[in-house]
Amino acid sequence: MFQMNGLRHWLARLPLGWLGWAVAVSVCAASPAGQADSEVARIEAQLRGQPEKAVAALDRLLPGTQNVARMDALLLKGFMLIRIGDLAASEEVAQHLDRMAADSKSADGAIASASAGLLRARAVARGGPASRADRQLTEALARLPATAPATIRLRFLDSQAAIKQSLGQLDLAVALYQQSVTLADQAGSAWRRAELRGLLAYAVLRTHQPDRALDIHQEALRLARESGDALAQSSAMTVAFIIYSALGRTEDELRAGEAAIDLARQAGAKRQEVLTIANLADFYLQRQDHATALRLALQALPLAREVNDLSSESVALTNAGLAMIALGRHDEGRALVREALVKEESAGALSQMLAIQEELGHALEKAGLLNEAWQALSEHRRLADDVFQRKHQQAVLELQEGFDAERRQRELAVLQTENRLKEAQLLQRELQQRLWAVGLTAGVLLLVVVGLLLNRMRKSNAQLQNSNTLLKVASERDPLTGLANRRHLLQVMEQSASEGQGFEGSMLLIDIDHFKRVNDQHGHAAGDQVLVETARRLRAALREEDLTVRWGGEEFLVVVRQMPADEVETLAQRLLAAIGREPVLLGRDSIGVTASIGFATFPLQPLRRPLAWERAIDLVDTAMYLAKAHGRNRAYGVRALQEEDGAQATAQPATLESAWRSGRADLAHLSGPAPVQP
């Protein structure tokens, strides 16, 4: 398992990653302002990989600093506190900056206020919505005066680039990193220039330009070696590990990973060391060298506990457990993976738990432990539903926040208009006393103003009503694919249930095969492209009146009304072909995609008893798992099922298959097209 804030994944979510934080807390150009500035730069250079020691050194330095040098030292301390997860202490630093802003009437006060906003934005970016961090940083930037020194401006610039990258705005992130490199080149040290180029190289890599990223990395590595800074060299080799992986240069990738570990040890940067060891274990795990993967994971585990890094400890436990399962030490392996799940659950990291459950299920399946694998994958499905619901709720909340901000702006505009109206009324009364004719003219003008105001208010109300309508539609649509979501399906099914008893019609549950492999090999942006293209193909193959729902993750649910059962089988065959006949194109690359489908028409033969729509979904879900168990790229449909087998068949694929083979169930089996080689 790759650590989500490490290597490929942690760089994809830069504000949470070691290298992103290391550079964020260190990219300040050297300043000739005085001894305090030089001391802050020394602490950055020597202790940036040891945040606890850096905080202690800054606490000793701060009493002797003032003005901009004090702000820079406070920012560095706040970033280090965020790095070790002490967000409460980081907020205390931000409040200290607020007090400095209140006590100063000069430009220094504006710099302190903006710096407090920057620190809070970085704290939000560590674990909260990146869009909220982006808004906070934009507000802080608006307060930063143009006269702010390079030390402060570079921190803002790098933070903005990191947040833009986490939002997927890669072109803008590349441009901001290029500006950071230019500013650091003017006055920065070699190690700082090297680490910034490493971030730029990764941002360029994410735009699918590996050759250009490699060129930038070579320059970063040269500067790191010239600086003699072991941590800068370790960071450069970490970026090289990722680039070589993207280029398929396995031997170079391995050498870079091992070099990154050795250099992190030389620098005394234990967090960097444990992160690279844990992820190198994943390198061997992916290549079926389970003994080496186990050795490295067990080597990383005590080190992660020493630095109290919960995320690295969870990755080490998971990798060790998966390796043990593959080596036949099933009970020991499952125990370690369960321990990792407990730690992630205590931290509220549902996304990490989701990834661990999926990898556990696949490992158990490969080991031949099919019942345990089915249980793990069932838990993965439950967690996927929870993650999907949380992401959907967050998207709606962010949409509501944006709507509230627009509403407040409209209310402010109306208030300003009302104030201007009151001023006009006062002026009108004054002019009436001097000249009645002029007063009469002013009254006419006032009526015109009132008419315009009323017209504007009517338009504002209409816009508000339209926004509410759009918000309701957005809450029932998947933002990525544009398909209906679970909330919309629930409303449709509740309305149908109020009109009769049981679900009538056909359901087809579609799951993209090996979707995790697409994300691992091509990146999450490519995974999103596959989901969007699959949704498009489904719409093209279905009728306008058929309901297509993004059920969660890589699953889609199709509800078809008034179609004979034999035509539903033809439809399932058509959907297999629509999804798997052509690869998904990603620029010059392509990805072969297939799907597994479970389907049935209700009420079921032969007894045709009513079945609730939730039970209907459970049954087609079980049929879909049966399709996956028999090799994927196929569809299994339930034509008939004896009533006494119904409850058990909706619970486990093995029970449904047993009923089929004993003649108590009639299943349709359809094969998909031959897999397309990209």
Domain spans in the chain, listed from the N-terminal domain onward = 1-169, 189-266, 391-475, 486-671
Q: How far apart are CA 633 and CA 577, in angstroms?
A: 10
Please tell me if the domain spanning 189-266 has the same topology as the one spanning 486-671: no
What's the pLDDT at 408?
62
Going by pLDDT thresholds of 50, 70 and 90, the confidence category of residue 409 is: low
What's the pLDDT at 10?
33
What's the pLDDT at 630?
92
Residues paired with 670 in a beta bridge: 635
Residues paired with 509 in a beta bridge: 557, 598
Which DSSP string do the residues of 225-264 spell out, in sequence order?
A: HHHT-HHHHHHHHHHHHHHHHHHT-HHHHHHHHHHHHHHH
Q: How far apart are CA 384 and CA 146, in angstroms?
A: 46
Contacts 24+ apart (CB under 8 A), 222-226: 222/194, 223/190, 223/191, 223/193, 223/194, 223/197, 224/190, 224/191, 224/194, 224/195, 226/190
- Among the ranges given (260-274, 497-511, 646-660), the one the predictor scored with the smallest mean pLDDT: 646-660
Going by pLDDT thresholds of 50, 70 and 90, the confidence category of residue 21 is: very low
Strand 584-586 to 665-671 pairing: unpaired
Average pLDDT for the chain: 82
Q: By the 8 A CB rule, do 510 and 579 touch?
A: yes
For residue 403, pLDDT beyond 90:
no
Q: Hey, what are 401's tokens?
A: 């926040």
Q: What is the pTM assigned to this prediction?
A: 0.56
What's the pLDDT at 574?
95
What's the pLDDT at 399?
59
Radius of gyration, alpha carbons of the chain: 30
For residue 191, pLDDT beyond 90:
no
Contacts of 558 (CB under 8 A, 6+ apart): 507, 508, 509, 510, 538, 542, 546, 547, 548, 549, 575
Going by pLDDT thresholds of 50, 70 and 90, the confidence category of residue 412 is: low
Contacts 24+ apart (CB under 8 A), 294-301: 294/319, 294/320, 294/323, 294/324, 294/327, 297/323, 300/274
* Fold (topology level) of 189-266: 1.25.40
State what percent of residues in the chain have pLDDT above 70: 84
- The domain 486-671 is placed in CATH, from the list 3.30.70.60, 3.40.50.150, 3.30.70.270, 3.40.50.300, at 3.30.70.270
Going by pLDDT thresholds of 50, 70 and 90, the confidence category of residue 416 is: low
CA separation, residue 206 to residues 6, 27, 547 (Å): 15, 22, 35
Residues paired with 484 in a beta bridge: 477, 549
Average pLDDT (398-417) is: 62
Q: How far apart are CA 202 and CA 637, in angstroms?
A: 46
Q: For the segment 287-340, what is each residue's pLDDT rounded down to a tens digit? A: 889 899 899 888 888 888 888 877 788 888 999 999 898 899 988 988 988 888
What's the pLDDT at 15?
33
Going by pLDDT thresholds of 50, 70 and 90, the confidence category of residue 4 is: very low
Better-scored residue on pLDDT, 168 or 535 = 535
Q: Hey, what are 553's tokens?
A: 């993750």
Determine if residue 329 is left, alpha or beta; phi over 0 gives left, psi from -120 to 50 gives alpha, anything else beta: beta
What's the pLDDT at 118?
92
Going by pLDDT thresholds of 50, 70 and 90, the confidence category of residue 677 is: low
**If you ran DSSP here, which 8-state letter would residue 546 be given?**
S
What's the pLDDT at 400?
63
- Among the ranges given (122-126, 300-304, 447-451, 667-671), the one the predictor scored with the smallest mean pLDDT: 447-451
Which DSSP string do the residues of 142-196 spell out, in sequence order?
A: HHS-TT--HHHHHHHHHHHHHHHHHTT-HHHHHHHHHHHHHHHHHH--HHHHHHH
Q: By the 8 A CB rule, do 97 and 67 touch?
A: no
Q: By the 8 A CB rule, do 174 and 203 touch?
A: yes
Q: How far apart are CA 316 and CA 437, in angstroms?
A: 87
Residue that has been written with the tokens 């492999």 in this structure = 517
Architecture of domain 1-169: Alpha Horseshoe (1.25)
For residue 500, pLDDT beyond 80:
no
What's the pLDDT at 358?
85
Q: By the 8 A CB rule, do 158 and 196 touch?
A: yes
Going by pLDDT thresholds of 50, 70 and 90, the confidence category of residue 608 is: confident
What's the pLDDT at 460?
66
Residue among 411, 398, 410, 330 nearest 369 (CA): 330
What's the pLDDT at 586?
85
Q: How far apart are CA 572 and CA 543, in angstroms?
A: 13
